[in-house]
Structure 1
Amino acid sequence: MDAFYASVEQHDNPALKGKAIAVGGEHRGVVAAASYEARKFGVRSAMPSKTAKEKCPHLIFVSPRFQRYKEISRKIREIFYEYTDLVEPLSLDEAYLDVTENKKDIESANQIAKEIRQKIFEQTGLTASAGISINKFLAKVASDINKPNGQKTIHPDKVESFLEDLPVEKFYGVGKVTANKMFSLGIYKGKDLKKRSIEDLTRLFGKSGAYYYNVVRGIHHSEVKPHRIQKSVAVERTFFEDLFDDQQVNEKLLSLSEELQNRLQKNNILGRMLTLKIKYKDFSLFTRSITREEYFSSAEQYFTTGKQLWELRPYDKPVRLLGLSLSQLNTEEKKLVSVQLKIPFKEFDDQ
């Protein structure tokens, strides 16, 4: 979806159309989503609201409405399931679809993408973009090329030349820090990356080195997994006023513990590892975890353990964010459907 949260707000409130808006808290929060009008000024998701306002003084902040976003997301997924059951949601606004064998027997993956995007617009009033190719990595990269409201196909015959000419910062999985490291090594495009041996890349980038070696050659074997296994459940809060003392922290930890328990109870989830996240006023970050042999099972246990982790903090600085997350969950992996991708590419036009 194109700037999903922000687009929903502009759709539901026509007075916001064409304006620079950010979904999130204006005073002490972060930007959850920015409209394309705001992005022109450098406003991006996960950016501190204060920074966003400095970049775009006329930026309008809108409080998030996650129930509304979930409602629309469900409608969009229903459209996906008209074509295939092999849908792997990544978030409320993004998913992979394997349409090798689709329910409508449409031979062209490009045509399927066009139909889905048109149905999304007709039923929600929102635009979507699509990437079509032979694996998830290439489809993901392609989906960003003709945004907003477009699609891009990377034909099997064009994969090699496409990747060789692709700037390394456009490779999915290459973040800003990694990209800068690659630049310092003279790696600017896929063709530069391709010259490096797997041993060289592993030495420079650790386990990710093998991933870079393969994807620059168009190799990515990850299947579309219709049942993603939830690995953690987290709650966190950014505070309007900094927290300075233990009493304030304890009050917030208790509230977070109760919220975490409510979320876990709804889905019958238990976990063994509890992690406390602290973000200080200067944006430095601290996390610390405790793992138990038995599952955590109550808000009281989260609260007591959270306080123990708080005592391990390295600094006595003002706190702007606290978070608790539970991992090593009792969710069991389910057998996944495996289908080799052999998508026919009969139409090469991009929109």
Structure 2
Amino acid sequence: MSEHYRKIIHVDMDAFYASVEQMDNPELKGKPLAVGGSEVRGVVSAASYEARKYGVRSAISGIQAKKLCPDLIFVRPRFDRYKEISKKIRKIFHDYTDLVEPLSLDEAYLDVTENKKGNPSATLIAQEIRKRIFEEVGLTASAGISVNKFVAKIASDYNKPNGQKTVNPDEVEAFLEKLDVKKFYGVGKVTAEKMYQLGIFTGYDLKQKPLEYLEKHFGNSGLHYYQIVRGIHNSAVKPNRKIKSVGAERTFGENLSSEIFMEDRLLSIAKELEKRLQKSKISGKTITLKIKYSDFTLQTRSKTLPYFVNDKNIILDVAKDLLYQERLRNSVRLLGISIHNLNNEEKTKTTLPQKSVSVQLKFEF
């Protein structure tokens, strides 16, 4: 590997939504908890570690979660509260560096190669940040520290919860070789299964495959897999990362079978989407209607306009056209509207460029 390295920290809050609920309501501490869903409807947004022991995870149905854990407690999500806590955490991050790239409310990358504290050790900075989050916010966080975002992201999951893992520059390739390929960030369930079928089970197995082989079986992603298993990932921490889409959706208390009943639901979704777009001061051209049927199959329908929009009335009209575009396959449990092809391209171009953060390896990680 090169003698020039960045020092990247990936901070990931532990079971964030569920932990906030347990912090705010002491009666929930130590109990299996699911945020979102219910034992009859909806999808789990987050699960406490007590619930995860039973196999409860985000994105599974509330019915399935309740079967896995009969004592599971469901609570409604409070996103305003989660955003409030997230702002406090990000303020702590910015005490150390302005190169902070949030991925969501509960995780972010930090480039601390050059930092406001003048601390040469990324490991010690991560420890200090986690300590401050616990003392000032009341929640635990885990962290991964390494030479790039990809390795730091994997490392942050290594000693969860409330732990951290440093992968030094000379340890990166050996660290990746030992991992199951399903642990690689960006390798989903389908890709992992395909790799298994090809005899690729670990990073070491992946590393033995030539570039031509990976491109043959994985197309354009082949080069990405070839590079990451060798610790090559040059994406910089982007503090002003461009928003690619904005959306809103609703899961219904009862399945809907008539488009007439869905129109009112689409209005409330369009209003929420307008609110989010105008708050971000962006508009878009491509409107997508998301339909989740009662059997959990998904369908999307899209239309691209010749102009940018962020008005609920126009969004609603397009969503209705998409709804009636073809017959529904089944009764519907969820509708969503998202808008893509945004007009924030120019904003990204005018952002001040990030200065180089590659330095001679004169520091400890």
Structure 1 position 256, deviation (Å): 1.3
2:272 aligned partner: 259
Q: Distance in 2 between matches of 1:3 and 1:103?
A: 29
2:184 aligned partner: 171
CA contact (8 A) 2:278 2:310 kept: no
Structure 1 position 250, deviation (Å): 1.1
TM-score normalised to the size of structure 2? 0.92
CA contact (8 A) 1:109 1:344 kept: no
Q: Distance in 2 between matches of 1:340 and 1:123?
A: 29
1:340 aligned partner: 357
Deviations 1:97-138 (A, max 9, x none): 000000010011100000000000000110000000000000
Q: Does 1:237 align with 2:250?
A: yes
Tell me: CA distance 1:341–1:34, structure 2 relative to 1, closer, same or farther (3 Å): farther
> Number of residues paired by the alignment?
347
Deviations 1:233-276 (A, max 9, x none): 10000101011112111111122112211222223221100000
Structure 1 position 345, deviation (Å): 5.4
Q: Does 1:190 align with 2:208?
A: no
CA contact (8 A) 1:110 1:345 kept: no
Q: Distance in 2 between matches of 1:344 and 1:59?
A: 50
Of 71, 75, 78, the residue aligned with 1:65 is 78
Deviations 1:143-168 (A, max 9, x none): 00000000000011111111111110
CA contact (8 A) 2:248 2:337 kept: yes
Structure 1 position 214, deviation (Å): 0.3
Secondary structure at the counterpart of residue 219 of structure 1: coil
Q: What aligned pairs does 1:198-209 form with structure 2 within 5 A after superposition?
A: 198-209=211-222
| Percent sequence identity over aligned pairs | 60
Structure 1 position 63, deviation (Å): 0.8
Structure 1 position 336, deviation (Å): 3.5
Q: Distance in 1 between matches of 2:283 and 2:62?
A: 34
Q: Distance in 2 between matches of 1:236 and 1:344?
A: 50
Q: Distance in 2 between matches of 1:203 and 1:273?
A: 32
Q: What aligned pairs does 1:48-197 form with structure 2 within 5 A after superposition?
A: 48-197=61-210
Tell me: CA distance 1:217–1:78, structure 2 relative to 1, closer, same or farther (3 Å): same
1:8 aligned partner: 20
Q: Distance in 2 between matches of 1:337 and 1:3?
A: 32
Q: Which amino acid aligns with 1:114?
A: Q
1:304 aligned partner: 317
Q: Which amino acid aligns with 1:324?
A: I
Larger CA deviation: 205-214 vs 77-86: 205-214
Structure 1: 5+ residue stretches without partners: none
CA contact (8 A) 1:135 1:341 kept: no
Q: Distance in 1 between matches of 2:23 and 2:149?
A: 30
TM-score normalised to the size of structure 1? 0.96
Q: Does 1:250 align with 2:263?
A: yes
CA RMSD for the aligned pairs? 1.3
